[in-house]
């Protein structure tokens, strides 16, 4: 059996004022920065690269939020929390607009169902790791759980 999975990473980037960074994608509307992990690249390097490419800013990874899988296309999405370090906001081919928004406004701006679900997980403030599987068209969560960070007994 051949196994082929694709992996993407995404960032919930916060600044010192508690605002979050959003981009306006030409495909999905407002969302968080992120993208595909390239062959030979670590999750962390991919995340830092994607944020810089799409927004112009440098961030520091501060935590792991969750993971989800598209069961139809075998795409695994990994979500991290990040802290803004420096840089000026700029647009790219993947971001028509880039802006800081209040956390409360972020969900109102996001309309794409999967992006909205992931952002809800990102903003939950839950100290557990969120994990869900979904079907994309039409969007449907197939299984969902939150897990404590594992510790050896």
Instruction: Show which residues are catalytic.
Output: 97
Residue 82 has pLDDT above 90, yes or no: yes
Structural domains of the chain in order of their starting residue, each with its CATH number: 6-148 (3.90.79.10)
92-109: average pLDDT: 94
Tell me the pLDDT of the chain averaged across its residues. 92
Q: How many CB atoms lie within 10 A of CB 115?
A: 19
39: three-class secondary structure by DSSP: coil
Q: What's the pLDDT score for residue 125?
A: 79
Closest CA to 47 of 62, 57, 29, 33: 33
Provide, for the chain, the percentages of residues in helix, strand and coil under a 3-state DSSP scheme, each rounded to the nearest 5. 20, 45, 35
Higher pLDDT: 148 or 9? It is 9
33-78 per-position pLDDT tens digit: 999 999 999 999 999 999 999 999 999 999 999 999 999 889 999 9
Residue 2 has pLDDT above 80, yes or no: no
114-142 per-position pLDDT tens digit: 999 999 999 987 778 888 899 988 899 99
CB 33 within 8 A of CB 79: no
- Distance between CA atoms of residues 78 and 97, nearest Å: 23
């Amino acid at each position: 059996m051949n196994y082929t999975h694709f992996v993407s990473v995404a960032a919930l980037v916060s600044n010192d004022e508690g605002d979050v960074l959003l981009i306006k994608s030409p495909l999905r509307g407002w969302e968080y920065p992120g993208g595909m992990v390239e062959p030979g690249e670590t999750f962390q390097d991919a995340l830092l690269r994607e944020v810089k490419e799409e927004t112009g800013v440098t961030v520091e990874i501060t935590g792991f939020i969750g993971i989800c899988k598209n069961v139809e296309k075998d795409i695994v999405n990994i979500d991290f929390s990040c802290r803004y370090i420096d840089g000026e906001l700029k647009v790219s081919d993947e971001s028509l607009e880039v802006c800081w928004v209040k956390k409360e406004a972020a969900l109102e701006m996001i309309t794409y169902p999967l992006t909205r679900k992931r952002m809800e997980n990102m903003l939950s403030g839950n100290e557990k790791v969120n994990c869900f599987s979904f079907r994309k068209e039409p969007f449907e969560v197939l299984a969902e759980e939150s897990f404590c960070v594992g510790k050896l007994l």
